[in-house]
Amino acid sequence: MKHLAALILLLGAVEACAEPLTASHRATLREALDDITTAALNQDYQLVKVQPLDSALVKRGFDDPGIRIVFIGNPEQMRHTGKVDAHLLALLPLRLTLRHEGDVVRVSSDDLAPWAEQAANAESRQLVEAWQADLRAILDDYAQPRP
Amino acid sequence: MRRARTFIQALLLASLLGLTASIVRADEPALLTVRAPNKGMDAAIHDLLQSIGAHNYSFVRQQSIDNRLVPQAWEAADTRIVYFCNFAQMNRALTLDARATEFLPCRVTLFQTRDGIEMVAINPAWVSERLNNPALHPDCLKLKQDYLDIMNEAAL
Is the CB of A78 less than 8 angstroms away from the CB of B69? yes
Sequence-separated (6 or more) residues with CB below 8 Å from residue A139: A21, A22, A23, A39, A107, A109
Higher pLDDT: A117 or A20? It is: A117
When the candidates are 3.40.630.30, 3.40.50.150, 1.10.10.60, 3.30.310.70, the CATH number that belongs to B29-155 is 3.30.310.70
- Count how many pairs of residues, chain A against chain B, have C-beta atoms within 8 Å: 107
Any domain includes A147: no
Among candidate residues B75, B124, B85, the one with its CA nearest the CA of residue A53: B85
Q: Report the amino acid identity of residue B122.
A: I
pLDDT at residue A1, as a whole number? 53
Residue of chain B whose alpha carbon sits nearest to that of A22:
B99
Quote the minimal CA–CA distance from B81 to chain A in Å.
Answer: 8
Q: Please determine, for the modelled complex, whether the ipTM score is greater than 0.90.
A: no
pLDDT band of B51, cuts 50, 70, 90: very high
Domains in chain B: boundaries? 29-155
Q: How many CA atoms lie within 13 Å of B50's alpha carbon, on the beta-carbon side?
A: 11
Task: Read off the pLDDT of residues A46-78 as tens digits, 9 standing for 90 and up.
Answer: 999 999 999 999 999 999 999 999 999 999 999
Residue A136 structural domain: 20-142
Whether the CB-CB separation of B129 and B123 falls below 8 Å is answered with no
Q: Contacts of residue A15 in chain B, CB cutoff 8 Å? A: 18-19, 22
Any domain includes A104: yes
Q: Contacts of residue A74 in chain B, CB cutoff 8 Å? A: 69
CATH number of the CATH domain containing A123: 3.30.310.70
pLDDT band of B17, cuts 50, 70, 90: very low
Query: What is the average pLDDT value for chain A, to the nearest integer?
Result: 88
Segment B19-33 mean pLDDT? 69
Any domain includes A15: no
Is the CB of A95 less than 8 angstroms away from the CB of B102? yes
Any domain includes A5: no
Among partner residues B66, B104, B122, which is closest to A75 by beta-carbon distance?
Answer: B66
Any domain includes A63: yes
Task: Read off the pLDDT of residues A84-94 as tens digits, 9 standing for 90 and up.
Answer: 999 999 999 99
The number of residues in chain B equals 156
Q: What is the pTM of this model?
A: 0.85
Task: Read off the pLDDT of residues A84-134 as tens digits, 9 standing for 90 and up.
Answer: 999 999 999 999 999 999 999 999 998 899 999 989 899 999 999 999 999
Segment A8-32 mean pLDDT? 70
Q: How many CA atoms lie within 13 Å of B45's alpha carbon, on the beta-carbon side?
A: 19
Q: Is the dihedral of CA A64, A139, A126, A82 positive or negative?
A: positive
